[in-house]
Structure 1
Amino acid sequence: MRQKIVRLALVGGVVFLALLLLLATCGGGGGDGAGRDGKGGESRKPVKESAGPVTRLTVPPAYTADRGWEVVDAGPGYAVSHPTGVLAYLVRAPGQRYRLRTLDIPTGRAGWSGEAWRPPDPARFPKLLTLAKADRQFFVTWSYGRVGDDLAPARTLVSLDVYDAADGERLRAEVPWTGVPVVTASGPDILITDGRTTGALVDPLTGDVTGIPAAKPSYPEGCSACGQLTEVRGQTEKGLLFSGAREFWVRGGWFSRKVAPKGADPRSGVPTSVGPGRILVRWQLGKKAERAATHELWAVHDAANGKPVASVECHRPAIEPGSHPQAVFSPSGRYAVAGNLAFDLEAKEGFCFETEGGAARVTLASVTDDGTAYGAADARDAADALEGGGTPVEMSFVSGDVEPLPPNVRLPEMETSGTGVFTWTDRKDRLHLLGYPRTS
């Protein structure tokens, strides 16, 4: 099933062209409806450029809060295009609408701003993703809900707005959908699924939609567990990634049993996190392994061919968690962290930070290209560590040491272009995005 449902704001006619010329003369900002200065009708606190932010958090020694930028009252979540150095965030606009804004991460200078639009369910903030395809970077906003009026029958759909990160050129796609969607962008296309095997792929270049039928997804020969709890987990360069109760595979490509890391039971792999070009997998140790009863093997695999890049053994949890930590990668992709796990993918090394009894020593939440990871001891998860829970720490991939930070330190959620990005929510429940430059 293929259908093209591109919605571009292009209208023919002399009157419309004249209106565009008039808007341009009045500073319309290249047709994005908001202007390059970011003005779009709603009030907004301007981003400070190369000046001290209003809010000065206590930050790790590698950063300074004396300079930087700040955005107040941004929507939940933001997205970053590392190659372009652009950060995107959502704000509310009049009329139950939303607008995507951007800024230059090193300077905080306002970038392009998209037209305001009304999602299918205005009560819910749209979600924001980053995607790369064909050497282009995209920001993707998506929302879900029911639409219709007296002139058209009601229907439910997933509404997607795809923006070129470089200049804000927008493409809209609408995908009919029932149930609650799961939308991911591990690339190269946008993946919508029902949490099982039914889904759709949306091409960010054209808006073409390719359906994924609910029929059996060609299980690998001899894989009895592949038909249990089967679901689409993501997309790779070689095709869709599927998993079962145990084992995983790319349809028409590789099979996990053929690429299991040394020491693992090849019939036990379970993907826990899928990112651009990488998959974090939990494996059981081989039955004859010395620590098979107490430990398991964690490995980061190359999504293109399934081969393991780095692995490490870690204690099995006393109680199986409801969800596993999601892998977070440094901008260059060299380093990865997930809970108490850390990986140097260039050196092909893995680290497990735990006590002799098997308890996690730290929860790592972010990692930079210089090999510094940030997290907290005694935090519930990465989100709790970033919100100030537990005792903040930093870990060096160079030394392997974990060092405590002052208890009131705020941790960077990520770093790119020499700038750490921090968040903070004030007493009015407004989210602050802050950028502090690295000093060392």
Structure 2
Amino acid sequence: MRQRIVRLALVGGVLVLALLLLLATCGGGGGGGGEDDEARKPARKNSGPATQLDVPPEYTTRRGWEVVGAGPDYAVSHTTGRLAYLVRAPGHRYRLRTLDTETGRAGWSGEAWRPPDPTRFPGLLTVAKDDRVFFVAWSAGRTGEGSAPAETFVSLDVYDVVDGERRRVELPWTGVPTVTATGPGVLISDGRANSAVVDPVSGEVSEIAASEMAYPKGCTACKQLTEVRGQTAKGLLLSGVREFWVRGGWFSRRTAPKGADPVTGVPTAVAPGLILAKWQLAKGSKRAATHQLWTVHDAATGKPAVSVECHKPAIEPGSYPRAVVSPSGGYLVAGNLAFDLEARKGFCFEEEDGSARLTLASVTDGGSAYGATVARDADEAIEGDGGGPVTMNFATWGVEALAPNTRLPEVEASGVGVFRWTDRKDRLHLLGYPREG
């Protein structure tokens, strides 16, 4: 009887194997092939990515993961260790996929959908509210076919980071939108004073027209070139040609840092929970003619956290450097500025004549920042087009040159540096190399 059972089990195993081979040959009921099939392949891990880049020595390329054919944007949730990226799907559609940044294992994947502008990849953001984190894919385009009037609108697909539950929000919009997530909602603005905020939990949309702006009493500069700069936990952050404020909340004139002229504050960059602003030094101070004060402010209260003086530029830049914050919020870098927020210390990397020595583009919780000399901005530094790559250590404020061809991490999550590289077929590769030690 035992032999018969074993024989039947073997026969059953052969039949199961044949059935599996048949399903594999027939495609297993997949989604119709195309570019999405290539993206179904899990990220390479353990044995090391096939692509071996030259990276800073603290990272190893012997282990890690690799994604081929991802869209130009990705989003990271540091609280869960997940990374989200977009891939093309058949029928001019896109699909959001996730992976675990530490192991490279594939996570949940959303259903394919068609954005209002299917000719380009949607943008990706991470937003947090009420202890929940969401990935947001956004796109802008037009509707209307035949004789129907065309309308422009913004479409948001909001995914819960934990399980991929999705909510779609669409709202009419005129012009080119600016979409950011520096507060507990998704902010859409027109680059001026018209805006809308989308609640990622409920999907509720709150529109704020320029005519509804409330200005701080006695601030004539606030009414000139008024612009929505971001969102804070206390409301929208706005600025004029000088001075800035939170709608219904604090006003920069009352939270100016020590040593600054209180009516000269200009916000230059906004990150979740933080604002980087430049100030003129108080009139009559020793270096007022040659230097400016750069200050990191708490976005909820407007209070200054840490400041550093830097030479005034010979020519005002057309755009200011973006602020990049370490995953746990202990460090901030922006161009040639670096701030240790816990130690309340700042440093301006510049030559004796006031020219910037380097541009910092990323920073880790371990206190390592990466950038390049002669780079115009962070993107140029990351892409390797801005002179020599460098690393800066917050423990010593020392800068060390890296090998000329070194690729820099854009972000570090769960101890893994995320690198970007485009191959000869114009395919984007996302690579995760773990930090050693």
TM-score (structure 1 length as normaliser): 0.90
Match of 1:425 among 419, 422, 426: 422
Q: CA RMSD in A?
A: 1.6
Query: Residues 283-308 of structure 1: CA distance to partner in whole angstroms, max 9, x if unpaired?
Result: 11111111111110101100010001
Structure 2 equivalent of residue 295 of structure 1: 291
Q: Which residue of 166, 171, 174 corresponds with 1:170?
A: 166
Contact 2:270 2:276 in 1 (8 A): yes
- Give SS of 1:215's match: helix
8 Å Cα contact 2:416/2:433 also seen in 1: yes
Q: What are the residue-to-residue correspondences of 1:131-146 with 2, within 5 Å?
A: 131-146=127-142
How far is 1:43 from its partner? 2.4
Determine if contact 1:185/1:191 at 8 Å carries over to the other structure.
yes
| 1:263-412 equivalence runs, <5 A | 263-389=259-385, 390-412=387-409
Q: Distance in 1 between matches of 2:191 and 2:241?
A: 14
Of residues 43, 55, 58, the one that matches 2:38 is 43
**Aligned residue number for residue 245 of structure 2:** 249
Q: For 1:409 and 1:438, how far apart are their aligned partners in 2?
A: 15
Partner of 1:158: 154
- Pairing 1:89–2:85 present: yes
Give me the whole-angstrom Cα distance separating, in 2, the residues matched to 1:249 and 1:269.
Answer: 10
Aligned-partner Cα distance in 1 for 2:232–2:359: 28
- Decide which structure has the larger Cα Rg and report it: 2
Is the Cα–Cα contact under 8 Å of residues 36 and 87 in structure 2 kept in the other structure? no
1:46 deviates by 3.1
Residue 152 of structure 1, CA deviation: 6.1
Deviation at 1:149, TM superposition (A): 3.3
Give yes or no for contact 1:77–1:127 (8 Å, CA) kept in 2: yes
**Map of 2:49 onto structure 1:** 53
Find the aligned partners of 2:349 and 2:163 in 1 and give their Cα distance. Answer: 42
Q: CA deviation at 1:41?
A: 5.2
Give the whole-Å Cα distance in 1 for the aligned partners of 2:421 and 2:247. Answer: 43
- 1:155, distance to aligned residue in structure 2 (A): 1.8
Separation of aligned partners in 2, 1:293 and 1:154 = 53
Counterpart in 1 of 2:216? Answer: 220
Quick one: which amino acid aligns to residue 156 of structure 2? L
Structure 1 distance, partners of 2:162, 2:374, is: 40
State the alpha-carbon separation in 1 of the partners of residues 131 and 308 from structure 2: 33
Matched letter for residue 171 of structure 1: R
The 8 Å contact of residues 35 and 90 in structure 2, kept in 1 or not, is answered as: no
Provide the C-alpha distance between the structure 2 equivalents of 1:333 and 1:407, rounded to a whole number of angstroms.
30
The unaligned stretches of length 5 or more in structure 2 are 1-22, 24-29
CA-CA distance at 1:148 after TM superposition: 2.6
Q: Do 2:36 and 2:88's aligned partners in 1 also have CA atoms closer than 8 Å?
A: no
- Alignment check: 8 A CA contact 1:42 1:94 kept: no
Deviation of the 1:250 alpha carbon: 0.8
1:439 alignment counterpart: 436
Task: Give the aligned length.
Answer: 405
AA at the equivalent of 2:391: E
1:158–1:368 distance in 2 versus 1, CA, 3 Å: same
1:275 Cα deviation (Å)?
Answer: 1.1
Per-residue deviation, residues 51-74 of structure 1 (Å, max 9, x unmatched): 210101111111101111000111
Please report the TM-score for the alignment, with normalisation by the length of structure 2: 0.90
Alignment partners' CA distance in 1, 2:36 and 2:127: 29
| Residue identity in the other structure for 2:435 | R
Displacement over 2 Å in runs of 4+: 39-46, 148-154
Compute the displacement of 1:150 (Å). 5.4
Q: 1:436/1:41 Cα in 2 relative to 1: closer, same or farther (>3 Å)?
A: closer
- 1:383-429 deviation digits (Å, cap 9, x = unpaired): 11111121011101001111111111111111110100011111111
C-alpha separation between the residues in 1 aligned to 2:48 and 2:361? 26
Q: What secondary structure sits across from 2:211 in the alignment?
A: coil
Counterpart contact for 2:372–2:390, Cα < 8 Å = yes
Quick check: 1:121 aligned with 2:117? Answer: yes
Deviation at 1:377, TM superposition (A): 1.1
Q: CA deviation at 1:154?
A: 3.0
